[in-house]
Amino acid sequence: MPESFKNGIVERVFRNFLDLMILRLVQIEPMWGYKIIKHVEEQHQIRLRHGALYPLLNKLEKSGFLRSKKETKGGRIRKIYEITSKGIQLAEAYDEFLRGELKKNESTKILQE
Amino acid sequence: MPESFKNGIVERVFRNFLDLMILRLVQIEPMWGYKIIKHVEEQHQIRLRHGALYPLLNKLEKSGFLRSKKETKGGRIRKIYEITSKGIQLAEAYDEFLRGELKKNESTKILQE
DNA sequence: TGAGATATGTCCGAAACAGGACATATTGTA
DNA sequence: TACAATATGTCCTGTTTCGGACATATCTCA
């Protein structure tokens, strides 16, 4: 039961915060769309639809959260995305919120023990 | 700029994870719907519509994540919600995910420094 | 040569969702 | 006595979103 909860949560986070998940992923290691899909599939057992991902990547680049450079690997074109300083700011804001939320619950747990 | 990012994120979290936000709030201190609205307004400057909250509270109770007891305070009926053990399990799963996500980015920051 | 993998892109219809309106009842205060 | 606050509830409608389909191109391996 507790494990199934976790799967559902991971799915929800990727559905609703896909942009932030991508920013954090790309912050750790610059990547192209196809690799992001495979990476998320492996790491979280979650199917990302490319029909949702590619438009989002383009949107994030237009908004200045990501920048891309094209690389040709054996005839195939890859658009490798990097996080920008604006993107880092957004990711940081998210982290700050998460840290704050966790802190709240840590103190609750101490009270309940 | 960085502050406005944070407001947007808090809003998004409350929109998409309202159930989990409620579970955590009620875990810290049992509350009734109206108080939850006022509390979130004060703490986060976010308007929660009761038309979304009350059906959700009922749904969370039906699903066994919350339990309620009725209290009459000066003629007005309050349904005070408490978290159940199942609710705690769900909140824990969420926390676990958040901790994992934060850990990932902590190591990235060290690499970038 | 044909299938599967790599790689990126658009588009449409159905389903989910949010915000505001509708609804009711009590209490306190101007 | 009428309005604001407390308190809980449903419902409809317009918008947003999502999954799947459509589209294209290259490479590798059987």
Give me the total of CB pairs closer than 8 Å, taking one residue from chain A and one from chain B.
72
Q: For residues A63 and A25, what is the distance between their CA atoms, to the nearest angstrom?
A: 18
- Predicted pLDDT at A69: 96
CB A24 within 8 A of CB B101: yes
B2 touches strand C (CB under 7 A): no
Phi, psi of B79 (to 5 degrees): -105, 105
What ranges in chain B are assigned the alpha helix state H?
Answer: 2-16, 18-28, 33-44, 50-62, 85-112
Beta carbons within 8 Å of A57's beta carbon, 6+ residues apart: A22, A33, A66, A68, A79, A81
Distance from CA of B58 to the nearest CA of A (A): 20
CB B88 within 8 A of CB A7: no
- Predicted pLDDT at B28: 95
Residues of B in contact with A92 (CB under 8 A): 2
Tokens linked to A3: 């494990």
Tokens linked to A14: 């990727």
Domains along the sequence of chain B with CATH: 2-112 (1.10.10.10)
Q: For residues B35 and B50, what is the distance between their CA atoms, to the nearest angstrom?
A: 11
Cβ-defined contact of B2 to A89 (cutoff 8 Å): yes
Enter the DSSP assignment of A29.
S
- Predicted pLDDT at A108: 74
A57 touches strand C (CB under 7 A): yes
- Predicted pLDDT at A66: 96
- Which nt is closest to the CA of A49, judged by C1'? D19
* A33-92 per-position pLDDT tens digit: 999 999 999 999 999 999 999 999 999 999 999 999 999 988 899 999 999 999 999 999
Q: Which of B28, B90, B99 has its CB closest to that of A104?
A: B28
Neighbours of A57 (CB within 10 A): 22
Cα end-to-end distance, chain B, whole Å = 23
Strands B66-73 and B76-83: antiparallel
Cβ-defined contact of B12 to A16 (cutoff 8 Å): yes
Q: Which of B5, B16, B17 has its CB closest to that of A89?
A: B5
Count helices and strands in chain A by DSSP H and E runs? 5, 2
Q: For residues A7 and A52, what is the distance between their CA atoms, to the nearest angstrom?
A: 20
Bigger pLDDT: A104 vs A53: A53
Q: B29-43, B69-83, B99-113 — which is least confidently predicted?
A: B99-113
Can you give the length of chain B in residues?
A: 113
Chain centroid, CA A55 distance in Å: 15
* A16-32 per-position pLDDT tens digit: 999 999 999 999 999 99
